[in-house]
Amino acid sequence: MTSMQIDSRVRDELAKVAEEDLGGVSLGEAVRHLIMEHHIAHINRRYEELRADPEEWASYAAEARLTDNVAGETLPGAQDEYPEYNQ
Domain ranges (residues) in the chain: 7-58
pLDDT tens digits, 19-47: 999 999 999 999 999 999 999 999 999 99
pLDDT at residue number 37: 97
pLDDT tens digits, 48-83: 999 999 999 999 999 988 887 776 677 777 777 788
- Distances in whole angstroms, Cα of residue 51 to Cα of each of 6, 61, 63, 64: 38, 10, 14, 14
pLDDT at residue number 34: 97
- The DSSP call for residue 21 is T
